[in-house]
Amino acid sequence: DTGVSQDPRHKITKRGQNVTFRCDPISEHNRLYWYRQTLGQGPEFLTYFQNEAQLEKSRLLSDRFSAERPKGSFSTLEIQRTEQGDSAMYLCASRKDGYYEQYFGPGTRLTVT
Amino acid sequence: AQKVTQAQTEISVVEKEDVTLDCVYETRDTTYYLFWYKQPPSGELVFLIRRNSFDEQNEISGRYSWNFQKSTSSFNFTITASQVVDSAVYFCALSEARETSGSRLTFGEGTQLTVNP
């Protein structure tokens, strides 16, 4: 199996710009998660998809954040009107039904200047 | 609410020493899963182990071993004969065990392990 992939790996943007990240899960994994990790901290849950349905969102996910998973395959995370506080590593993970361990991608490191 | 505490922020050892990373958790769920992940300098989180709350058997995998004690809500990780390649941040995590919900992972803040030659 190929692992979870994320694109881009790094993104530098100016405050106020919109950014979009992509995650491709492991092919037979129907559950997909987004987490955010800031320096020196553990990852924090953002949102979760089961197939194409977004079933759970964290309070961390402000109105400026939106996520989609069309057709239950890849997922995108968009941040509108970025702020400096959005600078972080955005991690995607996937798992399949009946197996609770999540497999993580390499992450997208976002820097907002 | 779920919570994971890793009290050791940083640990530094010399190669071949044994080292134990502590993890204490809180949950109201009666059935849950515990995990350890490794995050090397490259940044990608690597899954190491999953333990079910109803299975308190300790587990050994090569130089790695895990001690799960439900009575003290702890899930500690020991590396025997540490090597430089073990240098990484190690995260303990917890999730509920219900397929009807998302079973999000709740992570501790991590322990930075440095193994010196």
The reported pLDDT for the residue numbered B56 is: 82
The reported pLDDT for the residue numbered B57 is: 83
The reported pLDDT for the residue numbered B38 is: 98
Residue of A104, A109, A110 best to disrupt the B interface, most CBs of B under 10 A: A104
List of chain B residues whose C-beta atoms are within 8 Å of the C-beta of residue A36 = none
* DSSP strand pairing (B74-79 vs B64-69): antiparallel
The reported pLDDT for the residue numbered B101 is: 65
| Cβ distance of B50 and A55 shorter than 8 Å | no
| Cβ distance of A100 and B50 shorter than 8 Å | yes
The reported pLDDT for the residue numbered B100 is: 65
The residue with greater pLDDT, B47 or A1, is B47
pLDDT at A64 over 90: yes
What is the Cα–Cα distance from B30 to A35, expressed in whole angstroms?
25
The mean per-residue pLDDT over the stretch B99-109 comes to 84
Task: Provide the residue type at B42 as one letter.
Answer: S
What is the Cα–Cα distance from A37 to A45, expressed in whole angstroms?
9
* DSSP strand pairing (A108-112 vs A10-13): parallel
The mean per-residue pLDDT over the stretch B34-55 comes to 93
List of chain B residues whose C-beta atoms are within 8 Å of the C-beta of residue A91 = 45
Judge whether B52 and B59 are in contact, CB under 8 Å. no
Specify the DSSP class assigned to residue B72. G
Kindly compute the dihedral angle of the four CA atoms of residues A2, B107, B31, A106, in this order, to the nearest 10 degrees: 0
Residues forming a β-bridge with A85: none
Share of chain B above pLDDT 90, in %: 79
The reported pLDDT for the residue numbered A71 is: 86
The reported pLDDT for the residue numbered A35 is: 97
pLDDT at B99 over 90: no
Which two three-digit tokens encode residue A106? Answer: 């390499």
Task: Provide the residue type at B74 as one letter.
Answer: S
The mean per-residue pLDDT over the stretch B87-96 comes to 96
Judge whether B65 and B20 are in contact, CB under 8 Å. no
The mean per-residue pLDDT over the stretch B39-50 comes to 93
The reported pLDDT for the residue numbered A43 is: 97
The reported pLDDT for the residue numbered B103 is: 85
Which two three-digit tokens encode residue A11? Answer: 């993104």
Is residue A1 very low, low, confident or very high in pLDDT (cuts 50, 70, 90)? low
List of chain B residues whose C-beta atoms are within 8 Å of the C-beta of residue A42 = 4, 91, 93, 107-110
Q: Which residues contact A96 (CB under 8 A, 6 or more apart)?
A: A26, A28, A29, A30, A31
Task: Provide the residue type at A107 as one letter.
Answer: G
The reported pLDDT for the residue numbered A23 is: 98
The residue with greater pLDDT, A65 or B96, is A65
| Residues of chain B contacting A, Cβ within 8 Å | 4, 33, 35, 37, 42-47, 50, 91, 93, 95, 97, 99, 101-110
List of chain A residues whose C-beta atoms are within 8 Å of the C-beta of residue B2 = none
Q: What is the pLDDT of residues A38-47, one digit of tens each?
A: 999 999 999 9
Find the CB nearest A97 among B4, B33, B99: B99
